[in-house]
Amino acid sequence: MITATASGKIILFGEHAVVYQRPAIAVPVSQVQARVTIKKTKQPLTIDAQDQRRKISYTDLRDDDPLKAIIRLTLTSFKVTPPHATLTLHSTIPIASGLGSGAAVSTAIARALAKYFKRDLDSAAISSLVYEVEKIHHGTPSGIDNTVIAYSKPVYFVRGQPIETFNVAQPFRIAIADTGIQSPTKIAVGDVRAAWEADKDRYEKIFDGCGGIAQHARKLIKEGQPDQLGSLMNENHELLRQMGVSCRELDDLVDAATRAGAFGAKLSGGGRGGNMIALVNESNESRVREALMGAGAKRVLITEVNRDT
Beta-carbon count within 10 A of 135 CB? 13
pLDDT value of residue 162: 86
Opening angle at CA 272, ends 140 and 293, nearest 5: 135
Among 145, 179, 172, 174, CA closest to 159 = 145
Please tell me the pTM assigned to this model. Answer: 0.85
Residue extents of the structural domains in the chain: 2-164, 168-305
pLDDT value of residue 141: 79
Cα 53 to chain center, whole Å?
Answer: 23
Beta-carbon count within 10 A of 55 CB? 12
pLDDT one digit per residue (tens) for the chain, 309 residues? 999 999 999 999 999 999 999 999 999 998 899 999 999 999 999 999 988 888 999 999 999 999 999 999 999 999 999 999 999 999 999 887 788 999 999 999 999 999 999 999 999 999 999 999 999 877 777 788 899 999 998 899 998 898 888 889 999 999 999 999 988 888 899 999 999 999 999 999 999 999 999 999 999 999 999 999 999 999 999 999 999 999 999 999 999 999 999 999 999 999 999 999 999 999 999 999 999 999 999 999 999 998 665
How many angstroms separate the CA atoms of 202 and 200, rounded?
A: 6
Q: Find out whether 232 and 264 touch, Cβ atoms under 8 Å.
A: yes
Question: Strands 85-91 and 46-49: what pairing?
Answer: parallel
pLDDT value of residue 307: 66
pLDDT value of residue 144: 87
Torsions phi, psi for 284 (to 5 deg): -120, 0
Helix (H, G, I), strand (E, B) or coil at 196: helix
pLDDT value of residue 308: 60
Among 210, 266, 248, CA closest to 16 = 210
User: What CATH fold (topology level) applies to the domain 2-164?
Assistant: Ribosomal Protein S5; domain 2 (3.30.230)
How many angstroms separate the CA atoms of 233 and 227, rounded?
A: 11
Strand partners for 156: 25, 164
Strands (DSSP E) found in 97-178: 155-157, 164-165, 172-178
What is the assigned CATH class of domain 168-305?
A: alpha beta
Among 80, 83, 133, CA closest to 106 = 133
How many angstroms separate the CA atoms of 164 and 67, rounded?
A: 28
Helix (H, G, I), strand (E, B) or coil at 223: coil
